[in-house]
Amino acid sequence: MSKYRLVLLRHGEGAWNKENRFCSWVDQKLSEEGVKEARDCGRLLKEQGYKFDLVFTSLLSRSIHTAWLVLEAMGQEWVPIVKSWRLNERHYGALIGLNRAEMALQHGEQKVKVWRRSYNISPPLIDESHPYYMEIYNDRRYATCDVPKENLPRAESLKEVLDRLLPYWNSTVVPEIQKGKTILISGHGNSCRAILKHLEGVSDEDIAGVTLPTGVPVQLELDENLKPVKPRQLLGDQAKIQAAIKKVEDQGKAKQAT
């Protein structure tokens, strides 16, 4: 029997999603399409009768803005939002800012797929010579974290995303779910994939095949032990969702960037 419902949402399309660049911890706003995706998501969830009690986001604007737009479209702007760096996107290290398709041309599609989708392989570390290093680590939001700024990641595998996310999940998110609250997590592709891996017990190999398009809510129905009682459900027009999944998967293919 289903006791709890949880919705995971990868934020709406960001400016660098549109440009097919590794965005990661660089703070990007939503694109026009991303704004539309978030509003459409909110309308869909309202039509399906969702009433959220609490929303969790990362510290990144695209995650927060998506949550705002979803709640606005639902007429639930009053619902509390809790933010944490532990829900941030995966830290892509030295790859941040680079175009995925150009990287596939230079290094091969398989190498880029490993960087993007593998479970326990990290990209090269970011260092102070990187053009976005100071923008990230001088950002005031990271002075609010529960770890010193010098202990924040410089690159992460998906495993390391799950490692930094799990303490927050167990200490902060799980107790709210167990109170019977309906929770929305407005996160990122990899923070949501990490949660799915944990809840569904997805293998290290199979997680590479889990793709979440932007702006598509994922419904999970959980039992009293927070184990799924049925497969995850991506809500919305299924043909459009499959097309969006293919678009995400094609981002790492070798083609000339425009």
Check 11, 65, 130, 188 and give the catalytic one.
Answer: 11
Q: Is 90 annotated as a binding residue?
A: yes
213: its two tokens: 């398009």
Q: 224 catalytic, yes or no?
A: no
Q: Is 91 annotated as a binding residue?
A: yes
Q: 89 catalytic, yes or no?
A: yes
Say what the alpha-carbon torsion angle 34, 10, 172, 160 is, to the nearest 10 degrees.
Answer: -120
Residue pair 194/62 in contact by the 8 Å Cβ criterion: no
Q: Give the Cα separation of 118 and 95 in Å (integer).
A: 15
Q: Is 13 annotated as a binding residue?
A: yes
Q: Is 116 annotated as a binding residue?
A: yes
128: its two tokens: 């102070």
Q: Is 143 annotated as a binding residue?
A: no
Q: Is 17 annotated as a binding residue?
A: yes
Q: Is 138 annotated as a binding residue?
A: no
Q: Is 92 annotated as a binding residue?
A: yes
Q: Which of these, 187, 162, 185, 159, lies nearest to 173 by C-alpha position?
A: 185
Strand partners, 222: 4, 228
Q: Is 189 annotated as a binding residue?
A: yes
Phi-psi region of 211 (alpha: psi -120 to 50; beta: other; left: phi over 0): beta
Check 37, 65, 89, 156 and give the catalytic one.
Answer: 89
Enzyme catalytic residues: 11, 89
Binding residues for substrate: 10-17, 62, 89-92, 116-117, 189-190
Binding residues: 10-17, 62, 89-92, 116-117, 189-190
